[in-house]
């Protein structure tokens, strides 16, 4: 174990030099970014000072503001020399190559310290995997060298590249000291995953309740159950979100640690706020919508259908499942789709309980993916829109997220209208 520990320590230290270089360049990039940001803000500050000066009655104070605006206007000519500031990055390319070559050499040397005879099957598997990973890592580094050789700081980014980066980007990273990245895939994946899981819970419960109320319950019982279920829609989403954070999250995490539930993928739950928690709350919110529309669809089926079925000797259950339900299938599909639109457009619940991790979930974990935290399109808008500068790239990215969310909701609702019209013919 001594040689193994030494190998591990040397492998970790092999990346120290490249980490130091990255931090140094990140500081330079942030310094340049801050200068450019201040430069872009000068015209706004000048306009604000002049507007404020026009409203001041005191001549001396008004003159001071106008003088400050004039000084800022003179400073507009002092442009930030990007070409000069980029020289440090070009100069570091050769240093980067030397550091990378030494890092690979150190990794190969440290790999030799790993014992060749290992008793644990897991250790053998990891050692075998390491032998494959280091050559793959070398290939990645060589490709990066080629990219660095072709890199130009003033190369324009085309519209096609920008669109691809947004719609197919796997990262959403803001307020970064290095570079902000706006890729919608993590947000879209999180929204669809939560919506899908929530419907798995909501549809059977809501549809079962609709069938029972419409086909089996007494009219007095139906008069009590239907308003009670629909009353759930009156609960504010922020209240449900707080209940999820303060109560349900802890209960779900504690319950997942029970030995009898250890067979369920993802249990025990590691992250307190996750997809499953958000889906349960959204299912509770969407169930009344699905129930109401599904019950109306069942109620629109001509009574003659069920009477004919009962007259032929079918039971009430057979009539409900084989006659009434298939006849109302178009309305039920519309109810489910409207329930989908309800959950994918929800903001407060997912903002509070989904975990807000802007990364694509690890689907390789199978069903355990539902225990991971995610971010959604609605929650990212609510979280970041209040602090973003109007007209900035960040602002436009959030606007595009909202536009895509609007198009999804519009498409779902338009399709539902077609289905409902078809079901009423």
Would you state the structure tokens that stand for residue 359, as one six-digit string?
Answer: 């990364």
| Run of H or E residues at 182 | strand 181-182
Q: Do the Cβ atoms of 200 and 276 come closer than 8 Å?
A: no
Q: What angle do CA 161, 166, 167 make, to 5 degrees?
A: 100
- What share of the chain has pLDDT > 70, as a percent? 97
Cross-strand bridge partners of residue 173: 181
* Contact residues for 203 (Cβ-Cβ < 8 A; gap 6+): 290, 336, 339
Spell out the domain ranges in the chain.
Answer: 2-155, 185-424
- The encoded tokens of residue 107 equal 């990794």
Q: What is the DSSP letter of 368?
A: G
Residue 418 clears pLDDT 90, i.e. is over it:
no
Q: How far apart are CA 135 and CA 307, in angstroms?
A: 73
**Tokens 């369920």 sit on residue:** 264
Residue showing tokens 């895939």: 185
pLDDT beyond 70 at 2? no
- The structural architecture, per CATH, of the domain 185-424 is Orthogonal Bundle (1.10)
Hunting for tokens 């059977």 — which residue is that? 204
- Asked if residue 187 lies in contact with residue 375, where contact means CB atoms within 8 angstroms, the answer is yes
**What are the phi and psi torsion angles at 173 (to 5°)?**
-130, 120
Q: What predicted TM-score, i.e. pTM, was given to this entire model?
A: 0.80
**pLDDT averaged over every residue in the chain:** 88
Average pLDDT on 248-254 reads 93
Whether pLDDT at 118 is above 80: no
As a whole number of angstroms, the distance between CA 356 and CA 406 comes to: 21
User: Bigger pLDDT: 53 or 176?
Assistant: 53
Tens of pLDDT, residues 285-336: 999 999 999 999 999 898 899 989 999 999 999 999 999 999 999 889 989 9
Over residues 16-33, the pLDDT tens digits come to: 999 999 888 888 888 888
pLDDT at 198: 96
- What gap in Å lies between CA 45 and CA 280, rounded to an integer? 48
- Residue 78 DSSP class: S
**Residues 334-382: tens digit of each pLDDT:** 899 999 999 999 999 999 999 999 999 999 888 999 999 999 999 999 9
């Amino acid at each position: 174990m001594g040689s193994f520990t030494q190998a591990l320590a040397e492998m970790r230290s092999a990346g120290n030099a490249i980490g130091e270089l990255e931090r140094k360049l990140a500081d330079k990039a942030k310094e340049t970014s801050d200068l450019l940001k201040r430069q872009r803000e000068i015209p706004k500050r000048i306009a604000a000072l002049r507007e404020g000066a026009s409203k001041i009655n005191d001549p001396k104070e008004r003159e001071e503001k106008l003088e400050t605006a004039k000084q800022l206007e003179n400073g507009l000519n002092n442009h930030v020399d990007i070409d000069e500031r980029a020289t440090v990055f070009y100069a570091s390319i050769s240093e980067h190559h030397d550091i990378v070559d030494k890092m690979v050499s150190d990794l190969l040397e440290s790999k030799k310290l790993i014992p060749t005879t290992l008793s644990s099957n897991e250790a053998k598997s990891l050692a075998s995997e390491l032998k494959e990973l280091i050559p793959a890592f070398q290939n990645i580094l060589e490709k990066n060298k080629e990219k660095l050789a072709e890199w130009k700081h003033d190369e324009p980014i085309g519209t096609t590249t920008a669109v691809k980066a947004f719609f197919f980007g796997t990262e959403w990273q803001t307020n970064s000291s290095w570079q902000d990245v706006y890729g919608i895939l993590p947000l879209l994946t999180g929204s669809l995953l939560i919506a899908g899981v929530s419907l798995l819970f909501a549809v059977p419960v809501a549809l079962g309740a609709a069938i029972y109320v419409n086909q089996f319950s007494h009219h007095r019982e139906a008069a009590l159950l239907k308003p009670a279920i629909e009353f759930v829609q009156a609960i504010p989403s922020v209240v449900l979100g707080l209940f999820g954070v303060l109560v349900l999250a802890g209960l779900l995490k504690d319950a997942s640690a029970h030995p009898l539930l250890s067979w369920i993928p993802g249990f025990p739950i590691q992250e307190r706020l996750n997809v499953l928690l958000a889906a349960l709350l959204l299912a509770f919110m969407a169930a009344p919508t699905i129930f109401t529309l599904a019950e109306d669809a069942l109620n629109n089926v001509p009574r003659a259908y069920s009477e004919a079925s009962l007259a032929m000797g079918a039971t009430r259950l057979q009539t409900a499942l084989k006659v009434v339900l298939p006849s109302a299938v178009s309305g039920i599909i519309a109810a489910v789709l409207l329930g989908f639109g309800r959950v994918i457009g929800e903001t407060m619940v997912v903002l509070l309980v989904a975990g807000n991790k802007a990364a694509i979930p690890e689907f390789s974990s199978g069903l355990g993916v539902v225990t991971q935290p995610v971010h959604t399109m609605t929650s990212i808008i609510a979280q970041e829109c209040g602090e973003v500068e109007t007209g900035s790239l960040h602002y436009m990215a959030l606007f595009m997220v909202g536009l895509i969310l609007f198009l999804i909701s519009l498409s779902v609702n338009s399709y539902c209208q077609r289905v409902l019209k078809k079901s009423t013919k």
